[in-house]
Every structure is written in C-alpha cells, then in structure tokens.
Structure 1
C-alpha cells in the first residue's frame, strides 16, 4: 500500500555522501525494500570539506548555498532510490531527512546543531512530503533535542526478560540502555571508529581498517591505553557528548607525544580504547545481558572480540539477529520518525534528551500544489 512506504535519508558517516532506505512500515513492523549509498558530487564535497576544515560555524552565505545544493541532491537521490525499486514517488507517503551536520555546539546554554539539506527543496523536487528538523521540538522543551535513535531502539530491541543495550559504532560510540523493567537511557561514551580510521588513513592510506585485520595483528600498549583513558573526558558523567571536534588526530597526537610505538601497536590500542570505554560506561549502568551492535563498527570482527573480552557476561551480537541490518538502522530511524510525526504521535524522550515533556519531533514540509 502506498501509505506504508517511507524513505529514511541520512548522511554517510564519512561525510562523503548520503544514504537512503525505502522502508515498508505496517502495523509497527518495518522492512527495507531497497537501500543505496550515493557519494556527493565533487563540488558539494569540496565545499563541505572547506567548511569543516575551518573549525568554525559557517557563515550564512555559505550555509545557504550548501543547504540548497544538498537539498537538490537529496531530492535526486530519493527519486533514484524509488526508480531502482520499480516504484514511483507517488507511492511514497513521506521522506524523513537528517541533514548534513556542519557545526555542533552541544554544551552551550542552548544546544546548536547546524544541519544542511533544504527540506523545502526536497519536497518540491520529489513532489513528496518531507519531515525534517527533528531536534528543535526537544530543544524548545528544555532538552538537547538529541539523540533520537534510542526511541527506535526501544521500539525494536527492548525485552521484558533481559536487560539490553545497543551500541552504534560510528565515528563516536553511542549507547542506549534498555532495562527489562522498561527504563531507557542514552549517552555517548567516546570514540567509535574515528581514531582508528584517522590512524589507518595516515599510515595505510585507505579509509578504514573496517574488519579490524590490521588491529588484530598488533598488541595493546598498556601505557598508551592508560594515558588515553586518563583524559578528563572519560571521568565525566554521562552523557559525555563529544564528537570529531574533540576526538581527532590532534587529540591522539597530543597523547602520543614522546612515544615511539609501531603504528600497528597504536591501532590495536585504539581498538582497545573503544572497547574498554564502552564497557566502562555499561558497567556504570550495571551491565547488560545482551549488547546489540550496529553502525560500521559492527563489521569489525576484532573490535567485537575485544568488546566480548571487556564484557564477558554479556552476549554481543549485531542487530541483524533482531531484524535490523546494522548498516541501515538510521534509515529505519528517519523513516519511522517521519511516520510517527505524520500520525501525530508524541515521543516521550524526557529520560533521553532532558526534554520537559513528550514532544513530536520533526517539522513537516509539503510540496507546492
């Protein structure tokens, strides 16, 4: 049925393109009919890299240009996705969009996140309703407006018989804890793949050590690991929201100063840092019976083994075993959020984002008549 099809769109973790999933939602269950990754055109990618390289909030002129260009590009990607699935845009009820983040100030008095991909242009270009800007309602209610993924994690992965947690291993590691009694909490716990990816790019000249093959051949340097864990960040209470503006190669180089270690040893130690920092946060939360893994890090066999070693009492497995492709949980998220918003279903994320009340995340953009 046409009113059961939604598209979830979100930027790739490497900021090099957009991911889109065509999702069938019926009676609360979800299935992906088709999904695709599309790299940004060179002009958009170059502008985006220039904006990010400044380390400053982009000016209004650059933001407006990039916002419009990304909006038009997202619209083309949505059309291609539906065409490849053998359908038409009129079969899709709505598109849920997360824009490309170019600036974050999570710790300010009023949290600021600048996400670009003009939703009005996406609606116009696809002749389809778009739901976007999911954070504002939460911020206006006194919270941070994010994270949003725990809402879906609770919907898909909670259990009444065991305590569970979900870790999204992207550039940073995002945790959701799902208590059997019904409680939910969410926080970041430090680097996910970002330091390992940056080190791999520097020494192997490739994007990532995605399977953990390089890291598996080295040994952990206990001294370096302790220096990294001694960083003030790891003693902060949850949620501890820090991204690439904090965990980057400059941060790593500072902690490596004066050390002379083989690159492989550093890579193995960085994998251990990710595993141990996740385990420490989960042990603070009493530890789960089962840890579900999604995001790019779900394919890193070495990292999963280190997580198992750090959490010996927990069953660790990818979200695939619970009906969700670990690469496309975010696609499900934004399709589901769009559906929930159009059905005017409020989301109680007070425990997650600190909002003062249940809110309906997302602004609706309808195409012109």
Structure 2
C-alpha cells in the first residue's frame, strides 16, 4: 500500500502565549505551495499562561521540578491543539507525515558565551498523545553553526513571497516583530534573503494592558489610540542600542519585557498616563519596523504584514504613516491568511526535515552554512508491533 502520509501540521505559540495556532497543510510536490486543510487556535489551560509569562522577568527562578512539569504541561497543550486541528480536517493520524512544533520559548540567548535557545513542550508527549511523528527544537542546529537560530520564518517567506520583479518585505508582528527582506533576486537565489527581529511587536503592549487593565491584548489598538505619544519616553525607548545594531540579530521577551520598560519609566522626570504609555509602545513598534527596513533594506517597494499585529488597526495605521508612499498590505493580498503564516511555516519546516532539506537562511541568521533543522521524535509503534 502506498504511503498516505501526505499532510503536515504546524504548531506555534508566540511570546504573548495567548494560544497555540495549529494548521494542517498539504504541499504541492513540484512548487511546495501549501493547501490549507484546517486551522485551529487553542488557548492555554488556566494558569499556564501566567506561569510561562512569569519566566521572562529579570532574576526569574525555576526549579528542575517546576521546569519538568511545565515542559510536560506545554507538551499536552500542544498535543490538544494538534488533535483538535486533525479532527477539524477530518483526518486520521496516519495521514500526518509529521508535526512541526515550535514549542514555547522560555529563553533565547544566541549571543551568550554558550549560545542557546530554549523551548519547552515535550515533543515525545506530543507524539504519544497524537500518534504522529514530531519535529521540534528547530533553532539549535542553526545556533551550533554560529547563527542566531531566529527568525526561522524567513526561508519560508522567501519560498512563498519572493517575486522576480519586485523588492518585497514580509513583516511578521507577533510578540516580537521580524522582517524578511526579499529583493527580486531572492526568487531564484536563497543567499539573497535577509531578515531579523526588529524589536517589540505586540508583546510589550500586551504586557502593559495586562498589568493595568487585566486584559490579554489591546483590541484593535483602541486603548493606544486613546492616548498621546509621550515624546520623552519614546526617545528613551527608541535609543536602545539593539535598534541600531546591524543584523544578524534576534531577541525576545527576556530582553524587551516589562522590566525593560519599567527601567525607562523610572528614569523619566514625570509619570506618563498609562494610555500614553500604550500609545508610545505602539509608536515604538511601528517606528522601529520601518526604521529597520530603511536602515538595513533600502529599496523595498511593498510591505506585506502577517501575524496577530494585523488586527491592531491603530498599529497598522502607524506603520502606514511611517512607511510613507510604500503600499502596506497583508499577506492576504498574496493569497495566504496573515493569521496562519507562522504556524504554516512550522508545517513547512517539518516537511523540510522529512525531505532532508535545509530550513535556515544563513543570510538571515549568520550561520556558517545551511542546516536541516529539527530533532525527530517518531510516532508510537502500533500496539501489535511487539508481536511482529
């Protein structure tokens, strides 16, 4: 009987820890273009989000027992998301070639004396609870080659969005924002791909509104829009050395978190209104995205947004204002729903692992060469295997 494992699942939970995005896709064998079969967004169990967000603060502590329990809890959460999207697609586990699980990043330190990136979400548990093979730990193979291990979506962006006639930039706005610079050469030459994390995306805004109002996010950016940009705070935040640092570079909530914001607020001679802080954080995200494009990718003609930030209408307005005459669209204009690009990227990365093809872009991460990314965790054997 021919192998029917022709579908891939991507699982992604970002720095805001609001849900696992799960997607089932099938890829065209010739061009690798995806056909999306089902999507599902799976919120975390009660208490798990707070536990994970609490790990990013300065001076955080975690016992080995707590670490192990969190790892298993996140694995079960991801497995629930995978099973839910398999059900939505009306598939069985034997149709899934592999699940690509990003895991939940709890610390990203590519510039440490011993570089590493740590994601939890026990892949063997996902395999056991879904009956599917799992590919996880995508970042560290690139880091071992001297790379940043992030952002990982850039090679996928190039495969889908590079155009031989147009200089494009894909802007992914999750908790952290990142860009993929796609000059027209990137359509045929993967070494032309460039990209990096620009800095905060939604993450600081989410954390601030959670602190002040107990809400997980600023719906449509309404609270930010009600405030006024605090010039002194904006100048202090925008002067952060990370923004001027040339790529390759990547960052996370352990850098751009509330501790970072608090240090700047405490240094001001005045206490801004909380809504003004939110407006300023929104402006920071918009300004640093466009500044990064102009500073390190001049000549880009069109911007395509994806990620949760596309739903923050005020943020999109501010990005468009900073972008000037360049059109700002979502990836929906290119045929792919902006909400599902990151999850789809991990389905694609799982497929790259199955095919033994590289998943990194050295021009993005700074790695010494191409790498097949991800550790393989085989599906459980059939119950009758021991009798064979």
Q: CA deviation at 1:123?
A: 1.8
Map 1:167-178 to 2 at 5 A: 167-178=171-182
Unaligned runs of 5+ in 1: none
CA contact (8 A) 1:196 1:209 kept: yes
Deviations 1:85-144 (A, max 9, x none): 222111222111111112222221332111111212222222211111112321232323
Which residue of the other structure, out of 281, 289, 310, is the alignment partner of 1:278? 289
Q: CA 1:321–1:58 in 2, change beyond 3 Å: closer, same or farther?
A: same
**Counterpart Cα distance in 1 of 2:249 and 2:33:** 32
Q: Which residue of 2 aligns with 1:8?
A: 10
Q: CA deviation at 1:358?
A: 1.5
Q: Which residue of 2 aligns with 1:25?
A: 27
Count of equivalent residues: 369
Q: Which residue of 1 aligns with 2:384?
A: none
Which residue of the other structure, out of 160, 170, 174, is the alignment partner of 1:166? 170
CA contact (8 A) 1:210 1:297 kept: no
SS of aligned partner of 1:24: strand
SS of aligned partner of 1:361: coil
CA contact (8 A) 1:221 1:265 kept: yes
Q: Which residue of 1 aligns with 2:86?
A: 82
Q: CA deviation at 1:12?
A: 4.4
Q: CA deviation at 1:47?
A: 4.7
CA contact (8 A) 1:162 1:180 kept: yes
CA contact (8 A) 1:56 1:103 kept: no
SS of aligned partner of 1:190: strand
Which residue of the other structure, out of 105, 108, 112, is the alignment partner of 2:112? 108
TM-score by length of 2: 0.87
Q: Which residue of 1 aligns with 2:52?
A: 48
Q: Which residue of 1 aligns with 2:365?
A: 353
Structure 1 consecutive aligned stretches of length 4 or more whose deviation exceeds 6 Å: none
Q: Which residue of 2 aligns with 1:225?
A: 234
Deviations 1:141-178 (A, max 9, x none): 23232221001000111111111111111112111111
Q: Which residue of 1 aligns with 2:126?
A: 122
Map 1:112-191 to 2 at 5 A: 112-182=116-186, 183-191=192-200
**Counterpart Cα distance in 1 of 2:75 and 2:286:** 37
**Counterpart Cα distance in 1 of 2:115 and 2:61:** 13
Q: CA 1:204–1:124 in 2, change beyond 3 Å: closer, same or farther?
A: closer
Higher mean Cα deviation, 239-248 or 292-301? Answer: 239-248
**Counterpart Cα distance in 2 of 1:345 and 1:84:** 29
Map 1:298-309 to 2 at 5 A: 298-309=310-321
Deviations 1:3-57 (A, max 9, x none): 3311101224422442211112223111222111222223644653554557446
TM-score by length of 1: 0.92
**Counterpart Cα distance in 2 of 1:346 and 1:294:** 23
Q: CA deviation at 1:326?
A: 1.3
**Counterpart Cα distance in 2 of 1:80 and 1:347:** 26
Which residue of the other structure, out of 57, 63, 71, is the alignment partner of 1:67? 71
Q: CA deviation at 1:222?
A: 2.8
Q: CA 1:64–1:298 in 2, change beyond 3 Å: closer, same or farther?
A: same
How big is the alpha-carbon RMSD for the aligned residues of Structure 1 and Structure 2? 2.3
**Counterpart Cα distance in 2 of 1:208 and 1:50:** 17
Q: CA 1:190–1:74 in 2, change beyond 3 Å: closer, same or farther?
A: closer
Which residue of the other structure, out of 246, 259, 276, is the alignment partner of 1:237? 246
Q: CA 1:221–1:70 in 2, change beyond 3 Å: closer, same or farther?
A: closer
Q: CA deviation at 1:315?
A: 1.2
